[in-house]
Chain A
Amino acid sequence: MDAHEEVASSYGTHHGGSNKLYMVVWFSLVGLTLAEVYLAYLHFPAITMLLMLIGLSVLKAGLIMAYFMHLRFERFGLVLTLIPATIFCIGMMTVIFPDSFRLMHIRLH
């Protein structure tokens, strides 16, 4: 089987999700969303709130990428190509965030 045939035959063979799985994922996403809305009204400190909400959002994003975008059923090489580099770039951007606290302190005093 040459490369073109391999790609062509991959469609319709290993798209492993069933309707039941998609519904379970969907209800999980809705449940997590409602949990986020509930948490937003619990008067946590801002950083704690942000970490909780981002954590839940990452979980939701993971479910969407794995099951709705079918990444769970693709070759692991594709996951390794896309995800670590993306996380690294997001991390590089996050590194500048603590500087905002320095600026806040300067502006307050």
Chain B
Amino acid sequence: MSESHSHVAEGPWGGGGSPYAIGSKKLGMWLFIVSDVMTFTALLMAYSYSRVSNPDWPTQVFPIFPAVIFSTTMTIVLLASSLTMVMAVAAAHRQDRGAAVKWLLATMLGGLIFCGLHLAEWMHLIEEGVRPFSNPWGSPLFGASFFGITGLHMTHVLCGVIYLGIIAFGYGSKRFKDEDVEVSGLYWHFVDLVWMFVFPMIYLMSVKYN
């Protein structure tokens, strides 16, 4: 790198300054997370609006077994995977690549268990006749919003599992740095964070009391 290029790179217009003292990858991930939060907020807001404005919206849908038990277990599994992700980041900061990879694999396992339980939960509803554009209980929007929101979240989880797999492989083979593990951790915690809102708004607001 020439001296003049280095001088430009370190100046405020050359991208050398970081007002937040974080790398550009981390800042980029945070900005992506904010935009994806907007997407889920819009969907959940549309769901809430539809639920209130449709008098025939099915409001007691999920029995304690299997729906609430499954979805609560899914929540705890996702929280556990967030904990293993935190351990992976901590191990990466210690430069302990072996431990970081193991914790990343544990996180991926948590994500896959979440998706498996979620698909099982979907099958329970499909067997009862719930479809994206119809259901036996009321407004057809219920099925569309349920599968749309939970399906989009599950897609995020699956993409996260693939992302973590790439990071685990790359970090284990010394191609990636600990910063890359931390950035992938931000994405994973965001996926968990979204579920913290989807679970109560979709499941807990529609529990079946009998």
Q: What distance in Å separates the Cβ of B106 from its nearest Cβ neighbour in chain A?
A: 14
Q: What distance in Å separates the Cβ of B172 from its nearest Cβ neighbour in chain A?
A: 19
Q: What distance in Å separates the Cβ of A78 from its nearest Cβ neighbour in chain B?
A: 4
Among B23, B75, B186, point to the contact of A7 (Cβ < 8 A): B23
Q: Assuming the A-B contacts A53-B200, A57-B200, A75-B20, are A11 and B76 also in contact, with contact meaning beta carbons closer than 8 angstroms in the complex?
A: no
A-B CB contacts (within 8 Å), total count: 160
Bound Cα distance from A7 to B19, whole angstroms: 10
The answer to whether A65 touches B45, judged by C-beta atoms less than 8 angstroms apart, is no
Mask of A47-72 contacts with B, CB within 8 angstroms, 1/0: 00110011011001100110011100
Q: What distance in Å separates the Cβ of B209 from its nearest Cβ neighbour in chain A?
A: 7
Bound Cα distance from A66 to B88, whole angstroms: 17
The answer to whether A93 touches B18, judged by C-beta atoms less than 8 angstroms apart, is no
On chain B, the number of residues with a Cβ less than 8 Å from chain A's Cβ atoms is 59
The answer to whether B54 touches A107, judged by C-beta atoms less than 8 angstroms apart, is yes
The answer to whether B53 touches A104, judged by C-beta atoms less than 8 angstroms apart, is yes
When C-beta atoms are compared, the residue in chain A nearest to B52 turns out to be A100
DSSP majority for the A interface?
helix
Query: Which B residues are CB-close (under 8 A) to A57?
Result: 196-197, 200-201
Binding-face segment, B35-43, B146-154, B156-164: B35-43
Q: Assuming the A-B contacts A15-B90, A96-B45, are A33 and B75 also in contact, with contact meaning beta carbons closer than 8 angstroms in the complex?
A: yes
Q: Assuming the A-B contacts A17-B86, A30-B79, A68-B86, are A7 and B18 also in contact, with contact meaning beta carbons closer than 8 angstroms in the complex?
A: yes
Show the binding face of A for B, using Cβ within 8 Å. 2-4, 6-7, 10-12, 15, 17, 19, 22-23, 26, 29-30, 33-34, 36-37, 39-41, 43, 46, 49-50, 53-54, 56-57, 60-61, 64-65, 68-70, 74-75, 77-78, 81-82, 85-86, 89-90, 93-94, 96-97, 99-101, 103-104, 107-108
Show the binding face of B for A, using Cβ within 8 Å. 10, 16-23, 27, 30, 34, 37-38, 41-42, 45, 48-55, 59, 68, 72, 75-76, 79-80, 82-83, 85-87, 89-90, 93-94, 178-179, 182, 185-186, 189-190, 192-193, 196-197, 199-201, 204-205, 207, 209
